Amino acid sequence: MTGKIEVDGVAKVFGDPQRGFRAIDKVDLTIADGEFVCIVGPSGCGKSTLIRMFAGLEHPSEGQIQIAHDNPDRPVTAMIFQQESAFPWLTVADNAAYGLRASGTWKGAESQERVDYFLQKTGLYSFRGFRPDQLSGGMKQRLSIARAFATNPEVLLMDEPFAALDEQNKLIMQEELATLWEEFRSTVVFITHGLDEAVLLGDRVVVMSSAPGRFIHSLDIDLPRPRKSAEIRRTPEFGALTAELWDILGHEVRTARQQEADRIQAAGR
Amino acid sequence: MATIETIDVSRAPRKGTRRVLGMPIGLISPIVLLGLWEIAARTGAINVTFFPAPSTILATGFAQAQTAQFWGDLGISLQRIAVGLVMGAVPGVLVGLAMGLFRPVREALNPLIAALFPIPKIALLPLLLLIFGIGETSKYVTIAINVFFLMTINTFAGVVSTPKIYFEVAQNLKASRLKTYLTVALPGALPGIFTGLRICMGTALILLVAVEFSTADSGVGYRIWWAWTVFWVDTMYVGFLVIAILGLGFSYAVDFLERLVIPWHRKHER
């Protein structure tokens, strides 16, 4: 096996295998160990379905996905969801520790230290005893990030983690995430709508087509690290890369819009 | 001519409890009603044989509170409710959880529960008397059956209405089944369990009184029935009062427990 994640001829059909909705169509993808890969694509292109398959929440209809599990002391994946996913019945501290406890990789003081470390990194340490309903939306999402990082997975999965945040919070969180990741360099698969977000964070950006989703382009991002959001955004390279992505994606988004319009009209008849 | 639209604090809706003469308005209405009742009774506008004055009822109540019989009735009634509640709630919650978590259990039990639930449980009393005799067991079981169905249905609803994302977090992290039940399904079902408890407390009182009317020789319900046979109307009213206070007390107790056990839940509703 060559990559950390090997996607081999994977297709996903919802409903009837022949006539059902084909969300993903025979895709191949290799993600290297320690690589930060962003996947962008129009709405409904199956990118969320793909990452949910990585997370073990969906199964491919065809083909297979292999994720190398190199260290049995670490869980294979931990996912950061778009929606709020902190357990309302647990305190901030227990939420952050949940991943390690649930996956059976809790190791006493060492694990507690790790949890505290990420609570500090996400600015939640002084809110340890609070419940999620007492936190703001941004804090709740930071808690999900702390939980996933504390779990110490071999692959971090993020499904549009900042989509529900306001623009200013999003900018801060992107930079915080970049800093946090540069410290650990675990493999990351990051789904996003934001082209600038993808360029800012990723080592590589993969573009998906409108449904049925296929990979149509892969763009290496050679911007130096550590990446400081404000500085990177000012560079001409950043603008050029974002524009290049939009050239490819814009066409797909228009196609997706037409598909959607056709579907709604067909349903209305 | 141009006018000026003034928007200031004088237009703000008033906050807090409405008060009349310095008292919360919710307290005024019962006081007014009791006052009218008292006046009507004393002036002979209503027949005190059926509607004794509130002051008479209170006096009778205080007198009875000095007797061992009063506390004996109250004690045995509370015991019947408590035992029936535990006997019904524990299996009810377990079956409800199982139905929420396992599709085969749900598919097997759903039609059965849907068919049995609408039967008024008091209709089963004659059968339960045949099986368990006229002692305490038949009374416990009547209440327990009712509690069982209510707790099953509400626990099941609680599990099902738990947002899927919480189960997905556990699944993604490869949490074991047992761990998922304990850390996701059970806490997720707690709001449903409390809804069930709230309904149970009300219906348990109804069943208690019905059972005590027909097959008991003690208890608050029995005392009301007995008061009819000897035509002690005041005593009958004392029984109504005790039951009203019990109902109110149970409701506050469930509220208190709910705030204690699921503090995250009520906050969402507000």
Omega before B30 within 30 of 0, i.e. cis: no
Q: Which of B170, B187, B188 sits opposite A102 (nearest CB)?
A: B170
Give the mean pLDDT of chain B.
91
For each of the domains in chain A, give its residue range(s) and CATH number, in order of start.
5-70+155-268 (3.40.50.300), 88-153 (no CATH)
Contact A117, A93 (CB under 8 A): no
pLDDT at A254: 86
pLDDT at B266: 65
Angle made by CA atoms B54, B57, B61, in degrees to the nearest 5: 135
Taking the Cβ of residue B190 and every Cβ of chain A, the question of whether any pair is shorter than 8 Å is answered with yes
DSSP B100-154: HH-HHHHHHHHHHHHHHTTS-GGGGHHHHHHHH-SSHHHHHHHHHHHHHHHHHHH
Cβ-Cβ contacts under 8 Å for A143 (sequence gap 6 or more):
A86, A92, A95, A96, A122, A124, A132, A135
Which residues in chain B are contacts of A79 at CB distance < 8 A?
Answer: 168-169, 172
Q: Which of A204, A134, A194 is nearest to A170 (CA)?
A: A194
Supply φ then ψ for residue A65, to 5 degrees: -120, 130
Contact B176 A104 (CB under 8 A): yes
Least confident span in A253-262, B10-19, B204-213: B10-19
Which residues in chain A are contacts of B174 at CB distance < 8 A?
Answer: 56, 75-76, 102-104
Interface test with A, best of B166, B171, B173 (most A CBs within 10 A): B173
Contact A77 B179 (CB under 8 A): no
Which residues in chain B are contacts of A55 at CB distance < 8 A?
Answer: 168, 172
Regarding beta strands A204-208 and A187-192, do their DSSP bridges make them parallel or antiparallel, or are they unpaired?
unpaired
Calpha distance A122→A139 (Å, rounded): 8
The residue type at A213 = G
Calpha distance A251→A239 (Å, rounded): 19
- The model carries a pTM of 0.84
Q: Which of A78, A88, A89 sits opposite B173 (nearest CB)?
A: A78
Taking the Cβ of residue B6 and every Cβ of chain A, the question of whether any pair is shorter than 8 Å is answered with no
Block means of pLDDT (10 residues each) for chain A, length 269 residues?
85 85 89 94 87 94 92 90 93 95 87 93 93 92 93 93 86 88 91 92 92 89 87 91 92 84 85
User: What's the rounded mean pLDDT across residues B32-37?
Assistant: 94
pLDDT at A3: 86
Taking the Cβ of residue B270 and every Cβ of chain A, the question of whether any pair is shorter than 8 Å is answered with no
Q: Which of A76, A87, A103 sits opposite B166 (nearest CB)?
A: A87
Which residues in chain A are contacts of B169 at CB distance < 8 A?
Answer: 79, 81, 85, 87, 98
Interface test with A, best of B161, B169, B176 (most A CBs within 10 A): B169
Cβ-Cβ contacts under 8 Å for A25 (sequence gap 6 or more):
A11, A212, A213, A214
How would you label A43-65 residue by residue, b for 16+ Cβ within 10 Å and e otherwise? ebbbbbbbbbbbbbbbebeebeb
Q: Indicate the helix (H) or strand (E) that contains B23.
A: strand B23-24
Q: How far is CA B10 from CA A97, A128, B7, B14, in A?
A: 50, 42, 8, 9
What tokens appear for A165 in the block? 């945040």
pLDDT in tens, B68-80: 999 999 999 999 9
What tokens appear for A231 in the block? 């500085």
Contact B120, B142 (CB under 8 A): no
Contact B168 A102 (CB under 8 A): no
pLDDT for B265 beyond 90: no
- Determine the angle formed by the axes of helices B125-132 and B186-215, rounding to 10 degrees: 80
Contact A98 B173 (CB under 8 A): yes
The residue type at A230 = A
Taking the Cβ of residue A87 and every Cβ of chain B, the question of whether any pair is shorter than 8 Å is answered with yes
Nearest CA distance, A39 vs chain B (angstrom): 20
pLDDT at B91: 97
Taking the Cβ of residue B167 and every Cβ of chain A, the question of whether any pair is shorter than 8 Å is answered with no
Q: How far is CA A74 from CA A7, A70, A94, A98, A186, in A?
A: 21, 8, 19, 14, 12
Q: Give the A window 97-116 contacts with B, CB below 8 Å.
A: 98-99, 102-104
Least confident span in B22-36, B124-138, B198-212: B22-36
Which is the CATH superfamily of the domain at B67-269?
MetI-like (1.10.3720.10)
Q: Which of B169, B183, B267 sits opposite A85 (nearest CB)?
A: B169
pLDDT at B217: 92
pLDDT for B193 beyond 80: yes
pLDDT at A166: 85
ipTM of the complex: 0.90
pLDDT at A129: 94
pLDDT at B1: 64
Taking the Cβ of residue B164 and every Cβ of chain A, the question of whether any pair is shorter than 8 Å is answered with no
